[in-house]
């Protein structure tokens, strides 16, 4: 009878030596050694306004490999990814991982606990503040902390969003290009691997390292493949939307070879390259007549802005034929803010 003890012993020795040679991974106050899962905080100090603590987890694999950052809760009313990452954390096993995962559970605690849409207590949108400023207001300091403590420590990144508390949104992801062919191709593969079958192509993101503006763009400019994903909206935590975030994150983990997990890779997505955010030309009461996933013709009525007395101030019409990826579904609108997002299908890139 063949003795299997020697191969098993050799296998264990290999991983023991690999773990000994591998450095711990630290972000904020959290340090995980090889084969460990640890949770804690990134502390953002008070400066001109109050500070905060960003909850994170590190799952540090037993062997070397990619470091995937999964960021949830950039906007405080976007709940689906926050719930999904709690589930993902429970399913990651560092003893079976080649590489690591950094999970940012709530990137923007002031907006989450304050039930704020779009803006933090400083009146700023975190996903417009990157790469941040350590001496700025709270949104700028959070952006700086995530840039230095998460993005700079990762090799790949997924910024996980949904429609904000006022947005009715269909699931889709963004493939953003930055001009580096290898990074762009790797980002495209990540978008396919995440598994949402509608993908927006965005070739207009900033390239200035000092003004990267968005979370994902900050990673791309630093040479790290990155995607943004959207699933859910209107402040809901329905299982379909949360489940898509959870399954997509684990599919990315498998795609990068970090740990075995079911693949959600999509093979024939709908691609969109022509898109436009429809913005409110005035402050008022918004009454949409379309919803997410509706196909509309050029010039079709999307909705009306009324004054407080019910008089029509503006009619919002489709600038081109396409599909509504999201529509603001609640009445309050402020001049300049989004009312919807329309996209036109294009050929595969």
Measured between alpha carbons, how far is 300 from 297 in angstroms, rounded to an integer? 5
21: pLDDT strictly greater than 80: no
- pLDDT, one tens digit per residue, over 94-150 is 999 999 999 999 999 999 999 999 999 999 999 999 999 999 999 999 999 999 999
Helix (H) or strand (E) holding 182: helix 181-194
**Domains of the chain, residue spans:** 21-255, 275-346
Residues facing 175 on adjacent strands: 201
Residue 13 has a pLDDT of 40
Question: Can you read off the two tokens belonging to residue 270?
Answer: 């709908």
Q: Per-residue pLDDT tens for 187-230?
A: 999 999 999 999 999 999 999 999 999 999 999 999 999 999 99
160-187 confidence digits (pLDDT tens) = 999 999 999 999 999 999 999 999 999 9
Q: How many Å apart are CA 19 and CA 200, to the nearest integer?
A: 40
- What whole-number percentage of the chain has pLDDT above 90? 94
> With 70 as the cut, is the pLDDT of residue 7 above it?
no
Of 38, 188, 20, nearest to 101 by C-alpha is 38
The confidence score (pLDDT) of residue 9 equals 43
Give the pair of three-digit tokens for residue 219.
Answer: 């990673």
**Residue 178 three-state SS:** coil
Strand order across the beta sheet in which 312-317 lies: 312-317, 301-306, 284-288, 332-333
Residues 117 and 76: their CA atoms lie apart, in Å, by 7
In sequence order, the 6+-apart residues with CB closer than 8 A to the CB of 32 are 24, 25, 26, 38, 58, 59, 60, 94, 100
| Contact by Cβ (8 Å): 100, 61 | yes
Judged against a pLDDT cut of 70, whether residue 4 lies above it is answered with no
Radius of gyration from C-alpha coordinates of the chain? 21
- Reduced 3-state DSSP string for 160-216: EECCCCCEEECCEEEEECCCCHHHHHHHHHHHHHHCCCEEEEECCCCCCCCCCECHH
Binned at pLDDT 50, 70 and 90, residue 20 comes out as low
Q: Which CATH superfamily is domain 21-255 in?
A: Zn peptidases (3.40.630.10)
Q: pTM for the full model?
A: 0.94
**For residue 1, pLDDT beyond 70:** no
Secondary element (H or E) of residue 89: helix 80-91
What percent of the chain has a predicted confidence (pLDDT) above 70?
94
For position 66, what pLDDT does the model report? 98
Q: Tell me the pLDDT of the chain averaged across its residues.
A: 94
Is 275-346 in CATH node 3.90.226.10? no
Residue with tokens 């699933």: 231
Q: How much is the average pLDDT of 310-333?
A: 98
**The predicted structure's pLDDT at residue 340:** 98
């Amino acid at each position: 009878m063949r003795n299997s003890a020697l191969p098993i012993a050799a296998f264990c020795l290999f991983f023991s030596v690999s773990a000994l040679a591998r450095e711990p991974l630290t972000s904020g106050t959290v340090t995980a050694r090889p084969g460990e899962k640890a949770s804690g905080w990134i502390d953002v100090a008070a400066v001109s306004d109050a500070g905060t603590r960003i909850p994170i987890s590190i799952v540090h694999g037993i062997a070397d490999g990619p470091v995937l950052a999964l960021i949830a809760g950039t906007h405080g009313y976007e709940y689906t990814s926050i719930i999904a990452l709690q589930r993902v954390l429970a399913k990651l096993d560092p003893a079976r991982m080649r590489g690591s995962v950094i999970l940012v559970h709530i990137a923007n605690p002031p907006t989450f606990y304050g039930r704020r849409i779009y803006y933090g207590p400083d009146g700023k949108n975190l996903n417009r503040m990157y790469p941040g400023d350590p001496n700025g207001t709270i949104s700028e300091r959070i952006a700086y902390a995530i840039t230095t403590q998460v993005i700079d420590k990762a090799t790949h990144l997924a910024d996980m969003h949904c429609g904000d508390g006022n947005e009715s949104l269909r699931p889709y992801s963004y493939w953003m290009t930055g001009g580096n062919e290898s990074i762009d191709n790797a980002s495209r593969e990540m978008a396919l691997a995440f598994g949402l079958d509608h993908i927006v192509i965005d070739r207009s993101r900033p390239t200035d390292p000092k003004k990267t503006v968005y979370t994902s763009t900050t990673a791309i400019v630093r040479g790290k493949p990155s995607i943004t994903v959207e699933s859910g909206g209107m402040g809901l935590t329905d299982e379909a939307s949360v489940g898509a975030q959870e399954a997509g994150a684990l599919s990315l983990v498998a795609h990068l070879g970090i740990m075995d997990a079911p693949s959600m890779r999509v093979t024939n997505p709908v691609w969109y390259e022509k898109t436009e955010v429809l913005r409110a030309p005035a402050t008022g009461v918004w009454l949409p007549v379309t919803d997410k996933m509706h196909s509309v013709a050029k010039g079709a009525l999307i909705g009306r802005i009324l004054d407080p007395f019910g008089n029509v101030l503006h009619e919002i019409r489709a600038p081109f034929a396409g599909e509504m990826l999201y529509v603001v579904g609640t009445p309050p609108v402020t001049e300049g803010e989004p009312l919807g997002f329309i996209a036109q299908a294009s050929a595969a890139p």
